[in-house]
Amino acid sequence: MDLRQFRRAGHLPTLLCAFLYFDVSFMVWVLVGALANSIALDLHLDPVKDAGLKGFLVAVPLLGGSVLRLVLGVMTDRLGAKTTGVARLALGGVVQRDYPSRPDAGGGRR
């Protein structure tokens, strides 16, 4: 396959959307790492005693997203892309609506 055929082989809008998704996801992950100290101060975490919690704060979104990608990939193969997309959006809406539900946590229903 020469270069001209290779350029025409893909779907440019899909490639662009996949690139933007990856780019935005990576930026959010980097921001969580960079803001970990500020978030820890807002949560009143002790810098020495709660150092492991800061690592946990950065690792959970990354690992959760990795596991969710595996689950959503299998769901997409079995149920289809539209059904999986709607299920993912519904799950995200429920999580954002209900978590955190404590009044002192700064979000959720009160």
The whole-number pLDDT of residue 104 equals 56
And the tokens for 90?
């519904």
What's the pLDDT tens digit per position in 28-83?
878 888 888 888 888 888 888 888 888 888 888 778 888 888 999 999 999 999 99
And the tokens for 26?
């990576």
Question: Is 91 a residue whose pLDDT tops 50?
Answer: yes
And the tokens for 91?
């799950």
Nearest to 21 by CA among 9, 29, 32, 31: 29
The whole-number pLDDT of residue 106 equals 52
Confidence of residue 108 (pLDDT cuts 50, 70, 90): very low
CB atoms within 10 A of CB 62: 13
Domain range annotation of the chain? 3-105
Question: Is 107 a residue whose pLDDT tops 70?
Answer: no
